[in-house]
Amino acid sequence: MNTSEQLFARAQELMPGGVNSPVRAFRSVGGTPFFTQRAKGARLTTADGAELIDFVCTWGPAIHGHNDPDVRNAIAGALDNGTSFGTPNPYEVEMAELLTELVPSVEKIRMCNSGTEATMSAIRLARGYTGRDKIVKFAGCYHGHVDSLLVKAGSGALTLGNPDSAGIPASFAAETIVLDYNDPHALRETFAAQGDQIAAIIVEPYPANCGLILPDVGFLQLLRELCTQHQSVLIFDEVMTGFRVAAGGVQALVGITPDLTAMGKIIGGGLPVGAFGGRTEIMDQLAPLGPVYQAGTLSGNPLAMAAGIASLKKLKSLWPYDRLEKLGQTIRHALLGAAKEKGLPLQVPQVGSMYAVFFAEQPVRNYGDATSSETQHFNQLFKYALDHGVYLPPSAYETCFISTAHEGSEIEQAAEVLAAGILAM
């Protein structure tokens, strides 16, 4: 029994499933999860001494690679002054200035501690601002483990074959209207029938917890138009896409401005973080100015703020998005070329540093398309890649991430391994 197997055996006695987040358990791909000892650049080193080229990137935050020296130095500098104060600190102001500068929709911002907190708080704020209860979400979009949003969710819930969750009252779920992504007809019908009851639409503008799904032409614009027409709040969940596809997220890339935006991951530089922000008139409904209560002991934590500031400043100075697009295209072309040679149907949606792998005949446009793809082929590719030093997300329904540290031999080596994995099927 190797070190990871020993650790997992111990963990299963102490934690449900042996993990602190379900998808880490490798239940959908099979086998025992490895434990990471350390990480640097584009590589993880396991507790067993194996080196892996990493396309999970801590599920998104590591856009500069692991243990980036600028981020690490910023954390060390902040640590010299303490770990937490329980009072306002200067880092919070600098972070707010950066986010309001970079994200088109954000006039004011509130920091919190996770993406789940950000989406939960944005929903509460939208309900408080509009005085309405109903929320529209899309099947396969995952917005954290919020009671009213964990309905037809993606990410780990979908991976485990459990799109809903026990412990959520039916009355909570009843306030959530679930539609298919890229279905404008259902969206128009819903607003025609219930528009005066709908507080908000919440959407991953590029759904990235169900693989990676791209919007049809005009779909995101329709969301904006319907929310404006019916005085509902449009919430973009850019926890995953924020600062990945562009410095200001999808909204900057496509030129559509939501009313509220939820963020996380990259803005914490790898430390726990979340944020939500938007129009001043909505954000000023939050306590202490308004009646919508939201709070957090560690919100604006100085270590997380320092790490996030360093990460965002590095993005501003490097502006790596053209380079990341080329790296993404390298992986995409390698996979598609091998699939064509092998005669396997394959879709590789890719935007910048994000890509997904669907073994399907047609482009994946929604949750139903994603769940009907051939996951067994993905599992074969995952195992081949892992055995040959490349770590993909341990689920067919997750998005792969690339960092600036992948540039060079890592991306070429990984492309060769993934192509070989397709050809070996």
Enzyme catalytic residues: 142, 237, 265
AA letter at 297:
T
Residue 296 is encoded by which pair of tokens?
């957090």
Q: Which long-range contacts (CB under 8 A, 24 or more apart) does 331-336 make?
A: 331/355, 331/400, 331/402, 331/411, 331/414, 331/415, 331/418, 334/415, 334/416, 334/418, 334/419, 335/418, 335/419, 335/422
DSSP code, position 64: T
d(CA 190, CA 198): 9
Q: Where are the alpha helices (DSSP H) in 165-271?
A: 170-173, 184-194, 219-230, 250-254
Q: Taking a C-beta distance cutoff of 8 angstroms, is the pair 146, 123 a contact?
A: yes
In Å, how far are 139, 143, 164, 344 from 366, measured between CA atoms? 8, 16, 17, 21
**Whole-angstrom distance, CA of residue 185 vs CA of residue 189:** 6
DSSP state of 410: H
Q: Tell me if 307 sits within 8 A of 266, measured CB to CB.
A: no
Distant-in-sequence, close-in-space partners of 343: CB < 8 Å, separation ≥ 6 = none
Partners of 46 in beta bridges: 36
For 334, the token pair is 């390698």
Token pair recorded at residue 273:
């973080």
